[in-house]
């Protein structure tokens, strides 16, 4: 088995830290949006700061990704799969940034105050108050979240494919 260079330590730490956060957020979001209590309010209150933390980390991570050199996708992978890998990685970055922005934007458009921490630290609105926009963005937040979840599943499947079937060392570059 050829030994590939790993991702830099910072990249790996960010990757696993955010993986946990994003999975947690997907579950919290889905659970709270299909419940009316008794934990509804607590979960919504957790959902906002966690989402904003993902936004901040995703931007830092994108910066880090563009600056560091990373192991290439193996050459012997069929072209189509290589393309799919690259595209899915771009999409993952896009959603990690877009989803929290849509969440923040939709509450702004809905005219809600947006508590970030406790009751007194609020996020400023990033969009004007516009109920139609609120409705669309609320819908988009669900759709984008489901797309992100689908991508995460495919990503995990692909990682396991590299690790268990191809055993080409790709999985090892990130652990």
Partner 1 sequence: MLQKPTRPAMLALRWLGVGAGPTALALAFLWAGGCFSPARVTQNRLMGELHNAGSYGHGFRRAHAKGVCVSGWFDASGDAAHLSQAAVFHEQHVPVIGRFALAVGQPYMPDSGTTVRSMALRFMPPDAQEWRTGMNDPPVLPLRDARDVSDFFASQQIDPATGKPSPARTKAFGLTHPWLKSAAEKNAHRFISSGFADDTFHSLDSFVLVAADGTKTAVRWTMIPMQPVKPGDGKTGDHDYLFRTLIGDIHERPLQWHLVMTLADAHDVINDPSQIWALNDQTIDAGTLTLNSIESEDGGPCTGITFDPLVLPPGIQPSDDPILQVRSAAYMRSFSLRSGEKRSPSAVTPNLIQTYESKKS
Binding site for ligand HEM (CB under 6 A): 22, 25-26, 29-30, 32-33, 47-48, 51-52, 54, 99-100, 103-104, 107, 114, 141-142, 145, 148
Task: Pick the stretch among 10-18, 85-93, 96-104, 152-160 that binds partner 1 (CB under 8 A).
Answer: 152-160
Nearest residue (CB) to ligand HEM, 110 versus 173: 110
List Cα–Cα distances, 170 to 35, 70, 97, in angstroms.
40, 11, 25
Is 124 among the residues that bind partner 1 (CB under 8 A)?
no
Q: Extract the runs of DSSP E, i.e. beta strands, from the chain.
A: 114-117, 121-123
Helices vs strands, H then E, count in the chain: 4, 2
Q: Contact 94/148 with Cβ under 8 angstroms?
A: no
Q: Contact 48/103 with Cβ under 8 angstroms?
A: yes
CB half-sphere exposure, 64, CA atoms < 13 A: 16
Nearest residue (CB) to ligand HEM, 54 versus 85: 54
Q: Least separation, in Å, of the C-beta of 75 and partner 1?
A: 10
Choose which of 17, 41, 59, 86 interacts with partner 1 (CB under 8 A): 41
CB within 8 Å of 74: residues ≥ 6 apart: 168, 170
Choose which of 166, 171, 172, 174 interacts with partner 1 (CB under 8 A): 166
Nearest residue (CB) to ligand HEM, 7 versus 29: 29
**Angle between the N-to-C axes of helices 9-33 and 131-160, in degrees from 0 to 180, rounded to the nearest 10:** 130
Nearest residue (CB) to partner 1, 38 versus 67: 38
CB within 8 Å of 52: residues ≥ 6 apart: 100, 104, 116, 123
Q: What part of residues 53-82 is at the interface with partner 1 (CB under 8 A)?
A: 74, 76
Residues forming contacts to partner 1 in the complex (CB under 8 A) are 1-2, 23, 26-27, 30-38, 40-41, 44, 74, 76, 110-113, 118-120, 122, 129-132, 134-136, 138-139, 149, 152-154, 156-157, 160-161, 164-168
């Amino acid at each position: 088995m050829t030994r590939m260079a790993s991702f830099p330590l910072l990249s790996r730490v960010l990757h696993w830290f955010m993986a946990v956060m994003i999975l947690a957020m997907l579950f919290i979001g889905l659970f709270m949006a299909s419940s009316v209590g008794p934990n509804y309010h607590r979960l919504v209150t957790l959902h906002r700061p966690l989402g904003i933390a993902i936004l901040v980390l995703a931007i830092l991570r994108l910066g880090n990704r563009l600056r560091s050199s990373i192991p290439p996708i193996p050459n012997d992978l069929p072209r189509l799969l290589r393309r799919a890998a690259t595209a899915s990685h771009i999409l993952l970055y896009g959603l990690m940034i877009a989803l929290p922005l849509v969440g923040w934007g939709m509450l702004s458009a809905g005219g809600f105050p947006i508590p970030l921490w406790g009751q007194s630290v609020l996020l400023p609105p990033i969009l004007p108050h516009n109920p139609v926009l609120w409705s669309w963005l609320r819908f988009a937040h669900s759709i984008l979240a489901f797309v992100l979840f689908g991508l995460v599943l495919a990503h995990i499947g692909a990682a396991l494919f590299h690790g268990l079937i191809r055993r080409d060392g790709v999985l090892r570059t990130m652990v």
